[in-house]
Structure 1
Amino acid sequence: MNIVVIGAGLTGANAVEELRNQGYAGDITLIGAEPHLPYERPPLSKGLLLGTAEPGSVFAHDHDWYADHQVDLRLGSPVTELDLGRRRVGVTGTQIAYDRLLLATGASPRRLPLAEPSNPDVVYLRTLDDALRLRARLTGHILIIGAGWIGLEVAAAARQADATVTVVEAGSLPLLGVLGPELAPLFVGLHREHGVDLRLSTTVDSLTGTQVDLSDGTRIHADTVLVGIGAKPEDQLAAQAGLATDNGVLVDARLRTSDPHVCAAGDVANHDHPRLRRLRVEHWDNAIQQGKHAARTMLGDDTPYVRQPYFFTDQYDLGMEYVGHVGHAGYDEVVIRGDADTRVLTAFWIRDNEVRAGMHLNDWDAIDPIRSLVEQGTTDLDALRDPEAALPVPSG
């Protein structure tokens, strides 16, 4: 059997590693459009950008690992064609046959229509090369469009590098869709305390070079403009081949696509989660765990992927970990335990008497009980609401 993985990112790297760990001895081809070895993306907006980590530290494995594990690694090789009927992948004039295929093509930044593609002072952060370019520009006045995770992490790094930082956010609060009005204000206070000019309910009217006119009437002259307005799945190859797509490649609970010989995982996969229904997750942990799970699925394992989404952030002296997914249905209440003023707390989002998500701020011993509560769902809510009571973590 020959297994081909399209996408040499963290999902692809973990998939091929798991294939070998499971004892698969057949052919593996790992194809990546970037020239770099598969690498982890969280350091791009954290340690690498701050200068506390070097480029070589982000790689999942070195070159020798792929050779030692008989992985045919093809970097700098964009896939030009996917033929599901003949089970062929087209790469720079050649065809690669597969018996099983994993799509791990990831996502790409959403572009700002107002920004000229040729403007060298307007940057995006997605790749290792993007991060190295931005690291060299963390000086002067940096305007960040979008106060999501990437925008706020870059703002923290830029302020720590003594740059002047303005963040423009169209919403009334940053991270409102994830944290809600109860906890999103904590990040407003955090960044303003560190000198960030955070403009909420504000949009960009025009962008000429690095002259930016805002909807509040302000004109800003920045040295660098970072656009961080989200990402879109790289599902065009799948759609052109005839696979079912809708905000990503549609996969079932086991990460199988509409073609029985093809799986998809990571940022590009729109997953039919057994508990959470359909969702597409763009986080580090999901890339790792879905990559491993897809490998086992391709080898015949019929177990559904049930892991809860997890992500983390580090901004200044604040660290956060979050498990779960509230979704479009929202929540009935947020239970907050701890001190919002010192930003040491845990929080739980409740809907229909079930714990749908939980997080901590600067309470590093809390993540395991938080994960247990979210995975269990039902718990003693009265004990959870009591700040003097221990977390009602299941004994099993």
Structure 2
Amino acid sequence: MAPDEWKAGLTASARYENIERIASAITAGCPGRADTAQQEAFKLESQAFDVSPTRQDYDQACLAASQPSLPPPEQCPALSHPFHHDPTPGLTIGHYTNCVELDEGITSTVYRSPATAATADLLSPERGYALKLIHHHPPEPHNPTREIKTLQSCSGHATIIPLLETFHDGENHLVLVFPLKPLTLSQLLDAGGPLPDPQVSRITRDVLSALEYIHERGIVHRDLKPSAVLLDGPDGPAYLSDFGTVWHPEFSPPSEPADSKILDIGTGPYRPPDALMGNKSYSTPIDIWSLGVLLSELASLSPHPTPIFSSPPTHEDGSQLGLILSIFRTLGTPTLETWPEAAAFRTSPFGMWRVFEAQEGAFDGVSGTFRELVVGMLKYESGQRLTAKQALEHKCLSHEQK
């Protein structure tokens, strides 16, 4: 067998079984780490997968990681009551103690905090909380006040992350509090694929359910990407989050009316061509485009899923041009017939670009179950893209895949 050939034969379900065993071992050895066990298990399994030269080495590495072990008491003290948490000093933010940084971006820093008796009335304390601390004066289109109002208006929807409370810390930072979820879709994809069709179907349905709800109200998410989809576990449920750049017909300012929206939206390869070409009147179909790109990755047949389009990192010059060329090379350079609305865009896609024919077999890397759905989302003309409601009625999502 050629080096690494064994990896192609390792099913996603086998990998998830190992991840679950490792996570259970972490929790058994240290109940205080239960809220991070899933993420730790993903990292350990991914490391075993990446470095093991043979399947036997991989199995042995996973077996070793799944053996319960009791760490030193100073690392994991015994639980003395149901709200016990790791006493390792962390930040105190408001009435949330032992806050540990999870992620930092340009406009905010996210911390996790264990549930305590003081905060237990907000949520079942099994996992704890995620605190999004907003940096002072984030630039548009980032707007935490609009994010808060939008989330409050969507309160109660099953697949939109609930906002538990907001407050200002001692340095007058605005803090948004959410239930802590153990996994993001980005982490799930990083663990490798291909993913089973039923799993892809469940996650996609949950995201589309959230989009259908906000789109019916004229709300545009504007930054749909794998890290904006939170998961309770590898099979879901999934929750749409990260509403920091949302456009809302009621809560957006008069300086950003429906026909003159900000163009600097989206992330990497998930950015829609409408905004790339200067269409300030874009609307809910841009979220469908972003989901189509995301679904091309989620339903990828590759052991290392990637989006159907590529985009240079945002810090590199020409990232926008690189993405436009990737889209044109894949779908073919648009014409007045395939993208009539673009004739009115600020930047015309006609006549200024090299003409590429649509790439033969461009969607062959997507599971056949979801290929038609992805194609229906990735139409140049926004009015030809499936709506969230139409996508939910597609045969691949209408029932559990067998």
Q: Into which bin does the TM-score normalised by the smaller protein fall?
A: under 0.3
Q: Which has the higher contact order (CA 8 A, sep 6+)?
A: 1
Please identify which structure carries the higher strand content.
Answer: 1
Tell me the TM-score normalised to structure 2 length.
Answer: 0.25
Please identify which structure carries the higher helix content.
Answer: 2
